[in-house]
């Protein structure tokens, strides 16, 4: 599906979907448990891949009630050997988290995914599991899926880099809690995306599992910031209080709605985003980023609402080391703002569903933006940018697609984003929500 966005003014109230990051972890944590019910889970392609994995390992995920709650009968810390290959689709989070789960089984699991997922790096996690005496191999010997994993992980001490994917750390912490020995992780490089490890620690705590960072400086309230490593004791059991868990709203998805409000809210109007309760999500930094760029924005944390009005924005400098998923949104804001917006520390953003640094640079240039792309820095020259409608590629990447759609709201002329159905990964009704706020959007198959 392609979408065609015309210049539009937006206003009104919208609710972002539940957090994809929390949903993944909650589903798998429930799988590690005896039984749990997950409320407010995101129903989209990626979390469904994690549900399939839990089922494959011997659990059972059932949708119950009118509210779509997930009742999960888990495998209680001991995954079965799957009857078939586990297809993780396009979900890198699924593949990395359940790779460590597969290592716990006493036989072998085969994990694969789509073309994009089969090109993403898994090598450091495979090496760590191998050092912990599990079997963990890439069938093509290139550190990429398909993967063969298993042979009863017992735990131990292992070194792993922290600057490629925080999901490696999350995977080992979640699996390590049910090993005999527990797992002690030593980071060989600086930890990037630390708030995502904080999300894992928060979910583990909510399921009664203790895991701790080592040597952290706790910068800006991020528990994992500056950590030298992590420790999780073995022999723990997963059991949420009252047998249930509630997923918070997703700030990564909120970022597109807030950006739309900042650049395209109607005169005297504003966009109000609901479901914005505080949590460990690093992407809540979008509120501060918009504030620093001069947006008229306020976050009512007690009510869980954020209000943003159309504003004249100015460029700023943003380090996305801990918030890689915000890069596409910030890049679009920079193309509309006066002056330069410098996105620093973004090399790891090249290893997502696509190389998001290059993708955003290429497609924003097609829309008329002026940019300078370096390996770890993307600079958007807003003063030299004038967005005009064009056909741009979505790269089968939900975050690229949604951010380019926001750019289309303020481009001169119609903008077409190809492959837009891939928003189903994290925000299935994104275009319906944007239309309800007043955006003019047409679709073609």
155-196 pLDDT, tens digit per residue, is 999 999 999 999 999 999 999 999 999 999 999 999 999 999
CATH code for the domain of 197: 3.65.10.10
311 plus 410 within the same structural domain: yes
The answer on whether 25 is annotated among ligand-binding residues is yes
The answer on whether 118 is annotated among ligand-binding residues is no
The residue out of 177, 207, 234 marking a domain boundary is 234
268 plus 175 within the same structural domain: no
272-287 pLDDT, tens digit per residue, is 999 999 999 999 999 9
User: Residue 175 domain-assigned?
Assistant: yes
Regarding predicted confidence, which is higher, 352 or 271?
271
- The pLDDT assigned to 269 comes to 93
Kindly tell me the sign of the dihedral angle through the C-alpha atoms of 13, 420, 334, 323. positive
Query: Could you list the residue range(s) of the whole structural domain that residue 214 is in?
Result: 20-234
For residue 221, is pLDDT > 90? no
Three-state DSSP class for 4? strand
The answer on whether 115 is annotated among ligand-binding residues is no
What is the average pLDDT across 249-261? 97
Residue 328 φ/ψ region, left for φ over 0, alpha for ψ in the -120 to 50 degree band, beta for the rest: alpha
Structure tokens, 3? 């979408």
Regarding predicted confidence, which is higher, 219 or 105?
105
The answer on whether 192 is annotated among ligand-binding residues is no
The answer on whether 375 is annotated among ligand-binding residues is no
For residue 220, is pLDDT > 80? no
Q: Which of 193, 168, 30, 187 is nearest to 97 (CA)?
A: 168
Q: Which of 232, 252, 251, 279 is nearest to 32 (CA)?
A: 232
Percent of the chain with pLDDT over 70: 100
Q: pLDDT class for 16, splitting at 50, 70, 90?
A: confident
To the query of whether residue 43 is one of the catalytic residues in this protein, the response is no
36-70 pLDDT, tens digit per residue, is 999 999 999 999 999 999 999 999 999 998 888 99
User: Residue 244 domain-assigned?
Assistant: no
User: Residue 240 domain-assigned?
Assistant: no
User: Residue 214 domain-assigned?
Assistant: yes
From CA 152, how far away is CA 106, in angstroms rounded? Answer: 5
Question: Do residues 5 and 414 lie in contact, with contact meaning Cβ atoms separated by under 8 Å?
Answer: yes
User: Residue 78 domain-assigned?
Assistant: yes
Percent of the chain with pLDDT over 90: 93
67 plus 144 within the same structural domain: yes
13 plus 36 within the same structural domain: no
The answer on whether 358 is annotated among ligand-binding residues is no
User: Residue 218 domain-assigned?
Assistant: yes
| The total number of structural domains that make up the chain | 2
CA 36 to chain centre: 23
The answer on whether 20 is annotated among ligand-binding residues is yes
- CA 214 vs CA 110, 187, 227, 323: distances in Å: 33, 10, 6, 21
219 plus 265 within the same structural domain: no
- The pLDDT assigned to 33 comes to 98
User: Residue 357 domain-assigned?
Assistant: yes
316 plus 375 within the same structural domain: yes
CA 387 to chain centre: 28
Q: Which of 412, 404, 395, 393 is nearest to 431 (CA)?
A: 404
What is the average pLDDT across 21-38? 98
Question: Do residues 138 and 195 lie in contact, with contact meaning Cβ atoms separated by under 8 Å?
Answer: no
User: Residue 223 domain-assigned?
Assistant: yes
318 plus 214 within the same structural domain: no
DSSP 325-387: GGHHHHHHHHHHSBSEEEEES-GGGGGSSS-HHHHHHHHHHHTT--EEE-SSEEEEEGGG---
For residue 356, is pLDDT > 80? yes
342 plus 407 within the same structural domain: yes
257 plus 350 within the same structural domain: yes
297-341 pLDDT, tens digit per residue, is 999 999 999 999 999 999 999 999 999 999 999 999 999 999 999
Three-state DSSP class for 260? helix
- The pLDDT assigned to 58 comes to 98
Q: Select which of 206, 325, 340, 421 is catalytic.
A: 325
Hey, how many other C-beta atoms are within 10 angstroms of the C-beta on 296?
A: 16
317 plus 433 within the same structural domain: yes
What is the average pLDDT across 258-262? 98
59 plus 10 within the same structural domain: no
87-145 pLDDT, tens digit per residue, is 999 999 999 999 999 999 999 999 999 999 999 999 999 999 999 999 999 999 999 99
The residue out of 234, 266, 295 marking a domain boundary is 234
**DSSP state at residue 322:** S
The answer on whether 269 is annotated among ligand-binding residues is no
219 plus 368 within the same structural domain: no
The residue out of 234, 259, 286 marking a domain boundary is 234
The answer on whether 166 is annotated among ligand-binding residues is yes
């Amino acid at each position: 599906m392609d979408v065609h966005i015309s210049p539009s003014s937006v206003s009104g109230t919208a609710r972002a979907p539940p957090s994809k990051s929390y949903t993944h972890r909650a589903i798998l944590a429930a799988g590690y448990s005896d039984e749990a019910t997950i409320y407010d889970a995101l129903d989209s392609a990626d979390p469904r891949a994690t549900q399939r994995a839990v089922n494959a390992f011997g659990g059972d995920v059932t949708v119950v009630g009118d509210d779509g709650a997930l009742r999960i009968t888990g495998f209680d810390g001991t995954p079965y050997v799957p009857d078939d290959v586990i297809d993780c689709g396009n979900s890198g989070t699924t593949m990395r988290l359940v790779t460590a789960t597969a290592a716990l089984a006493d036989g072998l699991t085969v994990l694969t995914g789509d073309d994009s997922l089969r090109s993403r790096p898994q090598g450091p996690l495979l090496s760590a599991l191998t050092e912990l005496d599990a079997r963990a191999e890439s069938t093509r010997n290139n550190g990429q899926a398909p993967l063969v994993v298993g042979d009863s992980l017992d735990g131990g001490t292992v070194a792993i880099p922290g600057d490629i994917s925080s999901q490696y750390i999350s995977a080992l912490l979640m699996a390590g809690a049910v090993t005999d020995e527990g797992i002690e992780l030593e980071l060989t490089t600086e930890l990037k995306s630390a708030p995502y490890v904080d999300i894992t620690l928060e979910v583990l705590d909510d399921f009664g599992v203790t895991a701790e960072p080592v040597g952290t400086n706790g910068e800006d309230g991020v528990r994992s910031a500056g950590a030298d490593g992590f420790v999780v004791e073995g022999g723990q059991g997963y059991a949420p209080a009252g047998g249930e868990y509630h997923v918070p709203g997703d700030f990564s998805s909120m970022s597109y709605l807030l950006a739309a409000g900042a650049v395209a809210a109607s005169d005297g109007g504003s966009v109000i985003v609901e479901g914005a309760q505080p949590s460990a999500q690093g992407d809540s930094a979008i509120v501060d980023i918009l504030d620093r760029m001069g947006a008229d924005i306020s976050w009512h944390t007690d009510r869980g609402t954020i209000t943003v009005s159309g504003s004249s924005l100015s460029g700023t400098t943003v380090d996305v080391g801990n918030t890689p998923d915000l890069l596409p949104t910030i890049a679009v804001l920079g193309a509309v703002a006066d002056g330069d917006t410098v996105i620093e520390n973004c090399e790891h953003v090249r290893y997502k569903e696509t190389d998001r640094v290059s993708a955003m640079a290429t497609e924003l240039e097609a829309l008329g933006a002026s940019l300078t792309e370096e390996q770890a820095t993307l600079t958007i020259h807003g003063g030299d940018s004038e967005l005009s409608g064009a056909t741009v590629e979505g790269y089968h990447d939900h975050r690229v697609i949604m951010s380019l759609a926001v750019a289309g709201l303020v481009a001169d002329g119609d903008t077409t984003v190809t492959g837009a159905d891939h928003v189903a990964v994290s925000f299935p009704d994104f275009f319906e929500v944007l239309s309800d706020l007043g955006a003019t959007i047409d679709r073609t198959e």
